[in-house]
A = this chain, B = another copy of it.
C-alpha cells in the first residue's frame, strides 16, 4: 500500500507532473511547500525513461473491450498474461511462494486489503470483527476499514494493545517492511487459537527496499505495482492466496466493488514486469547490473539513505531508526534495508509536533506520527520523490538547528 492521501493545502508546483514528464522548474523556490507527504514513486521514473521503447504499451481501439478475461479462472477478470507475469516476477525475485497459490488481481493493493477483510468475515456475527495492526501502522488502514461503517469488521487500532486487552475474533494486518518505519515484522497477537486471521501487506517487500530474507509464505499476501516498479497511476495490485475459497471471496468482492480491474493496466503491468524479468534472464551473466531494475533502484535508495543520515546526524535534531544488516537471498549479500520513507523522531521534546515544525520552519510537508497511531514527535517523509525534490529536502532539513527555535 501506498501512503497517498488527499490533498491538503499543497502547492501544485512542487508536485510531480501528472503526465509523467518532468515539467517542474529546475530549482524549487524556498517559498513553495515541498510535498513529501505521499509516497508517490517518482524516483523510479528515470529508470523506465532509460528503458525507452522496450516497455511501450500499444493498445488498438478494438482490443480489451470485454469484461471477461477467463471464466475458467476464479478471478475471471484477470488477464492470463498478468497472472503469468506476476508468478514469473516472484520466481525471479524469490520474495514469495507462488506455486500452488491463487493470484487475485485488484485495483491497487488498497482494494485487495478490503477484499481480504470481506473474505475473512461473514455476515451475522454478534459484533464486527476487530482489525488491528502494530503501531506505528499504515495511516490509511483505519479509514479503509471504517469508511462504510460495515457490520462485518471494524478498526480496533494497535495490535500490541489488542494483544494485551482485546478479546474476540480479530484480523491482524502485518505490514512488512512496515510503512512508516521500515521494520521487518511478524504477527503480534499471540495464542488466540482460531480467533485470529492474518493479512500480510508486503507492498515494500522488494529488493530495492529490503533484504529478501525468505520467500514469504502466508495465507494472504498483497503486493502492488505502485511500489514494486513504481507505476502507481495504473492502480494495479495482486494478492497471493493459499485457500481457494478465500481467493473466490476476494474475487467476488472485486466484482461487486468495481466489476473487475482495468485490462489496459493489467496488460501494461504484464509487459513492464516481463521486461524487468527478461533483464535478469538475459543480462545478469553479462554483469551489466546497472541496467537491472532492482540493482539500479536499490543503488539510488542506498545513496539517498547515506545522504539523509549524514544530514540527520550533523544537525542532531531528529533520529532515524537503525536497521540490522541481513542476508538477502536475492542479491546473495549481507545488506541493509533502505525504506521508502524516513521515519523521523524529534530528539528534543516529548510534546513536539514534528509535522508542524517541518511545515512551519522549512516548508516541508510530511505526515504526523499521530496518523500512524503514535506520538506527534514522529513524522514520516517520503524518500520516493524525484532527485530534485530529494536534494531540496536535504538542503532545507540541514538548516534546522533546533525544533523549538525554528518552529515555534
Give A contacts to B, CB under 8 Å.
Answer: 2, 4-7, 10, 12, 15-21, 38, 40-42, 44-46, 48-49, 51-72, 76, 79-80, 107-108, 110-111, 114, 118, 123, 140, 143-144, 147-152, 226, 230-236, 251-253, 255-265, 268, 272, 275
> Which residues does chain B contribute within 8 Å of A40, judged by CB atoms?
66-68
A-B pairs with lowest CB-CB distance, top 9? A55-B61, A233-B263, A20-B63, A262-B262, A48-B62, A48-B61, A149-B151, A49-B62, A107-B258
Min CB gap A32→B, angstroms: 13
**Can you sample 25 A-B contacts with CB below 8 Å?**
A4-B68, A5-B255, A6-B251, A7-B76, A10-B71, A16-B66, A16-B68, A42-B65, A44-B65, A45-B62, A48-B62, A57-B57, A65-B231, A65-B232, A67-B232, A107-B261, A108-B258, A149-B151, A233-B260, A233-B262, A233-B263, A235-B261, A257-B257, A264-B265, A265-B265
Q: How far is the CA of A114 from the CA of B150 in the complex (A)?
A: 14
- A2–B262 touching, CB < 8 Å: no
- A20–B110 touching, CB < 8 Å: no
Q: How far is the CA of A107 from the CA of B108 in the complex (A)?
A: 12
Q: How far is the CA of A147 from the CA of B63 in the complex (A)?
A: 32
Min CB gap A23→B, angstroms: 12
- A268–B259 touching, CB < 8 Å: no
> Which residues does chain B contribute within 8 Å of A44, judged by CB atoms?
65
Q: How far is the CA of A105 from the CA of B44 in the complex (A)?
A: 26
Q: Which among A54, A68, A72, A272 has the greatest number of chain B C-beta atoms within 10 A?
A: A68
Q: Which among A44, A58, A108, A144 has the greatest number of chain B C-beta atoms within 10 A?
A: A108
- A264–B6 touching, CB < 8 Å: no
Copy total for this chain = 2
Q: How far is the CA of A150 from the CA of B257 in the complex (A)?
A: 13
> Which residues does chain B contribute within 8 Å of A69, judged by CB atoms?
18
Known: A40-B68, A61-B55. A107 touches B262 (CB 8 A): yes
Min CB gap A18→B, angstroms: 4
> Which residues does chain B contribute within 8 Å of A55, judged by CB atoms?
60-61
Q: How far is the CA of A257 from the CA of B237 in the complex (A)?
A: 13
Partner of A65 from the list B41, B57, B60, B107 (CB cut-off 8 Å) is: B41
> Which residues does chain B contribute within 8 Å of A143, judged by CB atoms?
256
> Which residues does chain B contribute within 8 Å of A255, judged by CB atoms?
5-6
A8 nearest in chain B by CB position:
B71
A80 nearest in chain B by CB position:
B18
> Which residues does chain B contribute within 8 Å of A54, judged by CB atoms?
61
Partner of A259 from the list B58, B59, B108, B151 (CB cut-off 8 Å) is: B108
> Which residues does chain B contribute within 8 Å of A49, judged by CB atoms?
60-62
> Which residues does chain B contribute within 8 Å of A38, judged by CB atoms?
67-68
Q: How far is the CA of A40 from the CA of B64 in the complex (A)?
A: 12
- A65–B12 touching, CB < 8 Å: no
